[in-house]
Amino acid sequence: MGDADVESGHIYVLRSLSDDPQIAGIQDLHKIGFSTTSVAQRIANASKQPTYLMAPVEIVEDYRAYNLKRSALEHLLHRVFAEARLDITQIDRKGRDYDPSEWFIVPRNVINQAINMIMSGEIVGYLYNPSAQRLVERE
């Protein structure tokens, strides 16, 4: 980190504490996101928000990010883990359908590897292979 580095926020990885059977039974289900505030502040009302599957969550990783643009980071994460995105529709408290987009079925060690590769810039050449449960070079 140099003098010109600017803290962008936090890349976080969460685990759902939902007791909903269609969510609770999914191993390696993680939300990967970005926040400009503290992660604890960001998730304060998780159980009332569809983006958190209407349930409390546990912080499993919290990385400080520097010199990252949120839109670029989210695009990268969504592209890398696209094949492992949770495909579920939930109903929010107002009765509206909601498709959470930042939840992925990926082992935590692979998420950590991807985040390190994002920070180093290496990630652009990789995608997640769900059957192999690892990052592989793009063809």
List of residues 6+ apart from 127 with CB closer than 8 A: 79, 80, 82, 83, 135, 136, 138
* pLDDT (0 to 100) of residue 93: 73
Q: Give the C-alpha separation, 39 to 13, whole Å.
A: 9
Q: Where are the domains of the chain?
A: 7-137
Q: Could you tell me what percent of the chain has a pLDDT over 90?
A: 48
pLDDT tens track for 79-111: 899 999 998 887 777 788 878 888 999 999 999
Q: Could you tell me what percent of the chain has a pLDDT over 70?
A: 96
- Candidates 55, 69, 48; CA nearest to 14 is 55
pTM recorded for the entire structure: 0.86
